[in-house]
Chain A
Amino acid sequence: MIIDQEKCTGCEQCIEYCPVSAIRIDDEKANINQDLCAECGNCYRVNVCPTDAIFRNELVWPRTIRNIFSDPISVFQETGVSGRGTEESKTNDVTNRFKKGEVGFTIDVGRPNAGGVKLREVEKICLQLSSRLDIHYDPNNPLTYLMEDPKRGKLKKDVLDEFVVSAIIEFKVPLNQCPEVVKVLENISHHIDTVFSIGVISRVDEDGTIPAAKILEEEGLQIRPNGKTTLNLGRASNPNKI
């Protein structure tokens, strides 16, 4: 994002809309720090500028990553899914991505409100996970596309300094490995300069029992009382999927 210095009146109205505090006033004009801008487009979308001084500049690789990860309206063309992640468990009633006996993880790095995160910081978590466990990152997740070595959780060198509002690490493991993953994540949490939120995906048994919840609670881990529940209403209908 860019602010046209000729048009800007320095009214400061745009500043509070930036989730990563990239907009500053220099010489009585608002300026966007290009290192910090995550290209989320919030300042532009809210239409708050009285002189239309804010505009989107054309992005080139690897800066395009910032927009894919940070702008909620941006669609990752390879999967057709908007936002930073995949459909994860939301369409599991149709896709059966997460089967009984499996547990999915969604690790939201930089969330909530950490003021943005460099992919270098995200890589630290992936490297640590892969060094301890046999992790198969979700091939449909935009972050996995950026890995030069998914077995090691290593990202391509040219994307490491890209700055995003947040990024999601997604993978699944057998049910019994679930506590081990959380232990590794707990350990990493003391060595990173950001925050992350952990999501654990599990199928629900016929009697309403959640197998992963049972295992995690036995390990003394606390599950928050609210989360996401996918209902059993979807069905495949595309000709090749019926």
Chain B
Amino acid sequence: MTHTLHRITDLFGESDDFVILCMAAQKFNDKGAGEKLKKIFRLVADTYPDNLADDNLGGRYTGYTDVEILGHMGDKAYVGAAFSDRTHLREALKRIKEADLGMSVVVSGNYKAVFKILKEIGMKPHTVNMSLGIYGNKALLPDREVLAISTMCGHGMVTRKRIENIVKKTKSGKLTAEEGGRMLASTCTCGIFNPKLASKILQRASEKEKGER
């Protein structure tokens, strides 16, 4: 899975858009992993993530409470959390490190920022997956704002039509940007979609429209 890799995050310069994924390696440390991942879920829940889920079920914005998510989590659970605040991200990573549960942890986001945070809390990166961007028939792609929202769900479940409709409703004042961001998050089961960042993009789209009038 590479669902957090190709996020378009440069609409606002160096954007604060981070994702944490925690999981077991199947056949290596999956036996009994469920309880460890539940502990990680609880630790992350206390550090003010903007979204949180087990991607085998869904998350806070797809209609589940933390208790329901925890009740569903097993050895194959994938904890996914989105952050737009570096302090909160740092705190989450620090707590996971201190808990020392032996699960794999991945952070998606700007490398410079992530490496800096890791250094501050005495950790080192092990492996990276770098994006070289998009190739092929780019005429098939939506505009950059829609793309910035849709790439927050790498599985493609936050659809182009849905985003365009919410953008339209936000521009016309039928929805606030915050409401729009939350509604868009409701189809991402992995907890990696950041509703706060989506709101910011919707706000920008509305202001741009007003400016053009």
Chain B residues whose C-beta falls within 8 Å of the C-beta of A21 in the assembled complex: 161
A108 vs B129: C-alpha distance in the bound complex, in angstroms? 13
Contact B141 A228 (CB under 8 A): no
The digit string for B162-197, where 1 denotes a CB below 8 A from any CB of A, is: 100100000000000000000000110110000000
Contact B114 A94 (CB under 8 A): no
Chain B nearest CB: distance from A100 CB in Å? 10
Contact A106 B5 (CB under 8 A): yes
Chain A residues whose C-beta falls within 8 Å of the C-beta of B205 in the assembled complex: none
Contact B132 A113 (CB under 8 A): no
Contact A192 B28 (CB under 8 A): no
Count of CB-CB pairs between chains A and B under 8 Å: 307
Contact B130 A199 (CB under 8 A): yes
Chain B residues whose C-beta falls within 8 Å of the C-beta of A94 in the assembled complex: 25, 28-29, 104
Which residue among B56, B103, B134, B150 has the maximum number of chain A CB atoms within 10 Å of its CB? B134
Contact B156 A89 (CB under 8 A): no
B50 within 8 A of A: no
Which residue among A17, A86, A112, A166 has the maximum number of chain B CB atoms within 10 Å of its CB? A112
A197 vs B106: C-alpha distance in the bound complex, in angstroms? 19
Contact B125 A16 (CB under 8 A): no
A182 vs B130: C-alpha distance in the bound complex, in angstroms? 13
Question: Restricting to A80-120, which residues have a CB under 8 Å from any CB of B?
Answer: 80-95, 98, 104, 106, 108, 111-115
A196 vs B137: C-alpha distance in the bound complex, in angstroms? 9
Chain B residues whose C-beta falls within 8 Å of the C-beta of A59 in the assembled complex: none
Contact B104 A166 (CB under 8 A): no
Contact A113 B150 (CB under 8 A): yes
- Tell me how many residues of B have a C-beta within 8 Å of chain A: 83
Contact B159 A87 (CB under 8 A): no
Interface-facing stretch out of A3-11, A145-153, A154-162, A209-217: A209-217
B85 within 8 A of A: no
Chain A nearest CB: distance from B11 CB in Å? 12
A236 within 8 A of B: yes
Contact B105 A234 (CB under 8 A): yes
Chain A nearest CB: distance from B115 CB in Å? 6
Chain A residues whose C-beta falls within 8 Å of the C-beta of B90 in the assembled complex: none
Contact A236 B25 (CB under 8 A): yes
- Tell me how many residues of A have a C-beta within 8 Å of chain B: 86
Contact B105 A85 (CB under 8 A): no
A133 within 8 A of B: no
A73 within 8 A of B: yes
Chain A nearest CB: distance from B211 CB in Å? 26
Contact B25 A193 (CB under 8 A): no
Chain A residues whose C-beta falls within 8 Å of the C-beta of B81 in the assembled complex: none
The digit string for A196-232, where 1 denotes a CB below 8 A from any CB of B, is: 1111111110101010110010000111111111111
Contact B161 A16 (CB under 8 A): yes
Contact B156 A230 (CB under 8 A): no
A65 within 8 A of B: no
Chain A residues whose C-beta falls within 8 Å of the C-beta of B26 in the assembled complex: 79-81, 87
Chain B nearest CB: distance from A186 CB in Å? 7
A192-B136, A226-B17 as given contacts; A91 in contact with B25, CB under 8 Å: yes
Chain A nearest CB: distance from B133 CB in Å? 6
Chain A residues whose C-beta falls within 8 Å of the C-beta of B97 in the assembled complex: 233
Q: What would 20 more interface pairs be, CB under 8 Å, given A198-B135, A232-B125?
A: A40-B155, A72-B55, A73-B57, A94-B104, A112-B134, A186-B135, A199-B2, A200-B130, A202-B128, A210-B130, A216-B132, A226-B7, A228-B128, A228-B129, A229-B115, A231-B93, A233-B123, A237-B32, A238-B27, A241-B29
The interface of chain B, by Cβ under 8 A from chain A, is: 1-7, 9-10, 14, 17, 21, 23-32, 55-57, 62-63, 76, 78, 93, 96-97, 100, 102-112, 114-115, 118, 123-138, 140-142, 146-147, 150-151, 154-157, 159-162, 165, 186-187, 189-190
